[in-house]
Structure 1
Amino acid sequence: MPFNSVNTNVGAMVALQNLNQTNGELMTTQARINTGKRVASAKDNGAIWAIAQNQRATSNSLNAVKESLQRGQSTTDVAISAGETISELLLQMKEKALAASDTTLDANSLAALNDDFTSLRDQITKAVDNAVFNGANMVEASGTTVEAIANADASSVITVAAQDLSLSGIGLSSGSSIGTTSAASAMITTLNSAITDVSSKLSKLGTGSKSLQSHLNFVMKLQDTLDAGVGNLVDADLAKESAKLQALQTKQQLGIQALSIANQSSSILLGLFR
């Protein structure tokens, strides 16, 4: 048998509890829609939030890895450009040496060829001196070896060794010349060796640059995968939340109506005293 009391309105209490629950769910849904996240803070889901934060930390660390790899690649590419220039200069120097080895040349012609040769020789030094990126020069004597960070905790690096392309590093000197026919003939052998040496060193630099680019591509894909994984953990399904919002708004209106009806029930008791 229902208990009628003006002090305790059980129906209103139940209606209010249900309305409060609906309002709480509505606030949660609105927050998800506003932020776009199902787990926006630790209180939403502590375990998932902690996992997501760890993955975000790794993803953010990969930004520094990418920057290190890009700097290393740029430094290496500058060195390669200098090396290719030096290789072309050596080919031109060999051409001058071959021409100067002709015993029928007169002194004026030989002097002109030697001037061209020494000018090309000095350009090698200029190319080496100017092959600098971010303060690093990989092709000078005792050049800088690139060590690019390879992972998020900096426990691994990708190394590209410096290659000495200075005159002394490739078997020439600042005094190398073809002032005489015999000097020109001897210089041909020296230049052949220098060309082979430069080609070998350029090959090593090219392999290093390719390795840096390959790892950079991997790191970029890894970062995208991590970001997608974090999204799967914390992002809200907005289509689902929108449908839920409509349902909760309807429940809220019905709850208000139910509470209003329950609050009116006690006034019915007045009819008993008329």
Structure 2
Amino acid sequence: MALNSINTNSGALIALQNLNSTNAELQTVQQRINTGKKVGSAKDNGAIWAMAKGQTATANSLNSVKDSLQRGQSTIDVALAAGDTITDLLGKMKEKALAASDTSLNTASFSALKADFESLRDQIEKAASNAKFNGVSIADGKTAKLTFLANTDGSGFTVNAKSLNLTGIGLSAAFTFTSAANAKSQLLQIDKAIGTATNKLASLGTSSTGLDTHLTFVGKLQDSLEAGVGNLVDADLAKESAKLQSLQTKQQLGVQALSIANSSSSSILSLFR
């Protein structure tokens, strides 16, 4: 026969233990719903938390890689824009030299063509020297190569510079013509310069494509890392919501069970009436 005692109410103790357990679960579920995470701190799951923190740091550091690659894109784009201008100028120089090779020209016309030719030549040097992004150029002949970040380990993506100034395309600052015959002979030199410039621009275009491809990869890698971290620490809110309803009901029943258990000892009072 169970002992009727007012000092020790085992039923109430058991009910209280169950209620405390339910309250603890309820607090955990509410925290997950509030934060959206099933692992919000190291005490929730130390191993998973540490893993998630490491992957998050890697994903965040890829922002620096993306910034560096985008600077590389911009630097090449500026060089390509300058290259387009330079090839156009070379085409106009060829036009002027061809016109000046006409032996029927008078002195004034020849001199005007020569002046135009030299002005176009000087513009090539200016275009190459001004092709800078953030103070850096790969077209002015002063830089051999640039290396941009390619990964979080500090490895780099190297872009070889392509000099597009007069010297870089096989001409000189004194390149001009002095006679109709001389103007005709310079046409071959201009054609070579056009070929050199276009080949260098093609190489820069290939480097730009490589940067684009790697930048796309880095973006996908970052997305994958962030999704992986989410799989580790994010809570299933639909599941947690259903569990919340269950625990709230269980909590109410626990309170009632504890109330019943506490009131059981009061029945002893009827024996003294």
Q: TM-score, normalised by structure 2?
A: 0.97
CA distance in 1 between counterparts of 2:37 and 2:200 reads: 53
Instruction: State the 1:186 CA deviation.
Output: 2.2
Q: Which amino acid aligns with 1:272?
A: L
Instruction: Map 1:171-190 to 2 at 5 A.
Output: 171-190=170-189
Q: 2:51 aligns to what? A: 51
- Match of 2:175, SS state, is coil
CA distance in 2 between counterparts of 1:36 and 1:19 reads: 25
1:172-231 deviation line (CA, Å, top 9, x unaligned)? 122111231132122111111111110111011101111000100011111111111111
Which piece of structure 1 moves more, 175-184 or 159-168? 175-184
Q: 1:150 aligns to what? A: 150
Instruction: State the 1:144 CA deviation.
Output: 5.5
- Match of 2:41, SS state, is coil
CA distance in 2 between counterparts of 1:186 and 1:176 reads: 12
1:140-178 deviation line (CA, Å, top 9, x unaligned)? 122262211111121x21111111111112121221112
CA distance in 1 between counterparts of 2:37 and 2:16 reads: 29
Q: Which runs of 5 or more structure 2 residues have no equivalent in the other structure?
A: none
Q: Which amino acid aligns with 2:170?
A: G
Q: 1:70 aligns to what? A: 70
The size of the alignment, in residue pairs, is: 273
- Match of 2:38, SS state, is coil
The yes-or-no answer on 1:249 pairing with 2:248 is yes
Q: Which runs of 5 or more structure 1 residues have no equivalent in the other structure?
A: none
The yes-or-no answer on 1:226 pairing with 2:225 is yes
The yes-or-no answer on 1:2 pairing with 2:2 is yes
Contact 1:100 1:181 in 2 (8 A): yes
Q: Which amino acid aligns with 1:219?
A: V
Q: CA RMSD in A?
A: 1.0
How many percent identity over aligned positions? 62
Contact 1:65 1:151 in 2 (8 A): yes
CA distance in 1 between counterparts of 2:29 and 2:169 reads: 71
Instruction: Map 1:29-108 to 2 at 5 A.
Output: 29-108=29-108
CA distance in 2 between counterparts of 1:129 and 1:122 reads: 11
CA distance in 2 between counterparts of 1:183 and 1:52 reads: 72
Q: TM-score, normalised by structure 1?
A: 0.97
CA distance in 2 between counterparts of 1:3 and 1:152 reads: 70
1:219-250 deviation line (CA, Å, top 9, x unaligned)? 11111111111111111111111111011011
